[in-house]
Structure 1
């Protein structure tokens, strides 16, 4: 291969790497191991590869923006206090650096988020992105790696994207909730989760079941769409079928609010309700709802800090989310 014809694609083919990985290595950017970087630089030196002046200019270009694509119905986002608080944390951290946030909402249908990342990459719109709601066999980490976009995942398993995950402890959250239910004397629990396409919902479901077995609590799990209507409907169905006391654990505050509406409608005094997310919605009304405070604004700050650190150096240490705190309220109803 003559030096004049050496390209990043040619180097990638010879080394069996993606073009993005070769570009990272050549431009001194994070995203590849030091061993890979050394291999790329050695072959480039051997073949006499040199970047063009235009390529050097592009490699130095920074957008000073980070991106978030949320697979959420835009009409529902304003009703989800968790994400509003998390985004407030992101913005607060970015304000200290002079960077900006590019936010897209694409709805729950698959594929639109990947198209947004490709467009951002082609237009050099963002320096990095944050991922939420990781799906089973989620293609996004691999896609972002191939596109050469730095990213951080908000999740509870590091093996989704080793080194890129801001970890929170779903097992510890489940333990707090189940032990509270057990302390109230309940031996039956309805777990109303979010969609089972999400990794974190499957992890939560397994963790709830695991801790419930320790306390001899029977668990019925049902998936939903995070809406207040779903919480009302699913808990209402259980109330119509079961006159025995039980506890409800929901995956977010809107589901818990719907669950509490269903309980209040039939004036049941033996049903406890607890939410995996705390918010102002859980604190208002005649019967404030027991909830886990997961400090979403601080989560947003830490995820942003981790991403900015990774943009500076690929071996920046991963961060962890703050441990959740259970806040008992009026819906912590003991079993008779």
Structure 2
């Protein structure tokens, strides 16, 4: 499904605006998942970069350190059109760090360096902190503030963002071609498998948003613990489940497709199967199963933390929030209004 086809949970857009007019309008800072050990063969670098994606920064750091790119680790991918802070690890077995000043440039600066015992693995972060600036904002200000309050109170659908699907959403078509026999590079294969999985998840979530069950759960629901990948259920509805759902301790979940049976049951399972029964979905399902991926789950609901906003001028709105790893700031923006990406 294209982004335009995904239903919104909070109703019609409350405003229109432009963002990413400059990298400073989209600021992202990783929230570290651990502290450096203080010793070991891996140099942890906290860097700030402007207009540079993670892969390009990793390549530059590898050149600076005189190592292969495989010696560089990072926890998450960050967009090019942003001002970002994130950590990289550099494997230096001789424990001799090159001159840090040689890495400094107008678009990349080192904020901190520490020694650590292990390579920084993907996903090893607690989340990301965003500060976003919207410009040329049009619409009713009271309606926009009310929408922000609703997002803070109820959260938003936890869609995979457009970044997962490549330019013009082409990664899903590429995944179908790969499943049909087209050969691809190893790194591209991983990207296309993720896009196929994300497409199926978004389809299920779109169905749940359309019927209003994305935040309330159904008979046969599989529940996911907040801030965790742990799941439980199905189990009979109870006052305890209702209280945990209301306090965001648990969330309804949807399938990340792979081999094996769906864990959901009853109404929840019927909805998941019905939403993934067309020809395209069946081909994606079969390809993911053949590729050896296993059934997993992802929360259907996402609530931004520490959400605050400030009108910088009549038509400039700045707001900030925190999201867990794997969540997308663009899905929060989408629930607020029609936001045009000036960097596209």
Q: TM-score surpassing 0.5?
A: no
TM-score of the two chains, using structure 2 as the length reference:
0.23
TM-score of the two chains, using structure 1 as the length reference:
0.24
Specify the structure having the higher radius of gyration (Cα).
1
Which of the pair has the greater relative contact order for Cα pairs under 8 Å at 6+ separation? Answer: 2
